[in-house]
Amino acid sequence: MAYKNFDRDVDYSIRLDQMMAAGASAQEVQDVLDQRIRKATSDESLYQYAYDSAYAKARSYIDRHSGVSGQAGAGVSGAGSYRDPYAEQLSAAFAAYRGREPFEYDPEDDPLYQSYRSAYRREGDRARREAVGSAAALTGGQASTAAVAAASQAQDYYNSKLGDALPGLYELAYKMYQDEGESMLGEIESLAKLSASSASAYQAGQKLAYEQAKDARDTQRAMYESARERADGDLKRGQGVEDEAFDRAMAFLNAGVMPTAQMLKAAGLDRQAAENYRAAALRKLNGK
């Protein structure tokens, strides 16, 4: 049964498990697996399920029950023994993606934020010192309320710039998190394609080996049939020759004439039998 679309309300993981438990054919499982992939890739929030452990389980079932390795490959050395060279990598990639922590942003853990903070603090301290120095120069070196206020404002300006940078740093961190996820999904998809390609190549090789073995068996069978036909023909021809020789010898004997030793041999008669035939024929010819 071929499926060309997918149903958004169907849990294809459950359906695949039920089909495999019931012993569905490899093609039936492949059709439903294709539906599951189309459903997952149609929605970004479901993309992680396109090539997950359920996919790996279904692919393993398909490889074990495919028509090439299970039927066409019967009798071919190594049939059914395929091992996916990408299985471990694919499994590890699945585990790494599914094991990702949810996105969280803590500025204290962000090296870029730490760099921004150090720079703004440094600039704030410099601005504060310059403001105090400028105010002191105007008052003859004496600190004043105006000088303290100016220094505080200068430092607050840089502190506020650090706060203004936080949203951008958050967005940058989130984008990096998303890009990492996309990269992991890309690796999974690439491995899945390599896995499928490897399985296809193996099945093609098994099919070729089966066809070659079948051709060899057919050739051997044809040679046997030809030899048997020739033997049957030779036997029939030999039987025909022997029958003709027997009829010829009997014609001689019925006429009371003993055939030559060569004629008797060709007819399959021994000398004594020929003598008995000839004696009976002579009695009949003489009316006795």
What was the pLDDT predicted at 129? Answer: 66
Confidence band (pLDDT; 50, 70, 90) for 122?
A: confident
Phi and psi torsions of 221, nearest 5° = -65, -40
Residue 206's alpha-carbon distances to 56, 85, 92, 222, 276, in angstroms, are: 22, 17, 28, 24, 71
Q: What are phi and psi of 4, to 5 degrees?
A: -110, -20
Cα–Cα distance for residue pair 27/196, rounded to 1 Å: 14
Residue 278 has pLDDT above 70, yes or no: yes
pLDDT the model gives residue 70: 39
Task: Please state whether the predicted TM-score (pTM) of the whole model is above 0.75.
Answer: no
Q: Number of C-alpha atoms within 13 angstroms, CB side, residue 128?
A: 15
What gap in Å lies between CA 280 and CA 132, rounded to an integer? 160
Q: Which stretch, 5-9, 34-38, 47-51, 100-104, has highest mean pLDDT?
A: 100-104
| Euclidean distance between CA atoms 124 and 113, whole angstroms | 16
**pLDDT value at residue 147:** 57
Lowest mean pLDDT segment, chosen from 22-26, 172-176, 277-281 = 277-281
Q: pLDDT class for 224, splitting at 50, 70, 90?
A: low
Task: List pLDDT tens digits, range 19-29.
Answer: 998 888 888 89
Residues 125-164: pLDDT tens digits? 676 666 556 655 555 555 556 556 656 666 667 667 777 7
Q: Three-state SS string across the chain, please?
A: CCCCCCCCCCCHHHHHHHHHHCCCCHHHHHHHHHHHHHHHHCCHHHHHHCCCHHHHHHHHHHHHHCHHHHHHCCCCCCCCCCCCCCHHHHHHHHHHHHCCCCCCCCHHHCHHHHHHHHHHHHHHHHHHHHHHHHHHHHCCCCCCHHHHHHHHHHHHHHHHHHHHHHHHHHHHHHHHHHHHHHHHHHHHHHHHHHHHHHHHHHHHHHHHHHHHHHHHHHHHHHHHHHHHHHHHHHHHHHHHHHHHHHHHHHHHHHCCCCCCHHHHHHHCCCHHHHHHHHHHHHHHHCCC
Token digits for 263? 């004629």
Highest mean predicted confidence (pLDDT) among 70-79, 81-90, 228-237: 81-90
pLDDT digits (tens, 9 = 90+) for 232-263: 665 555 555 567 888 888 888 888 888 888 88
| Count of beta carbons in the 10 Å neighbourhood of residue 56 | 18
- Please give the pLDDT value at position 163: 77
- More confident of the two residues 234 and 85: 85
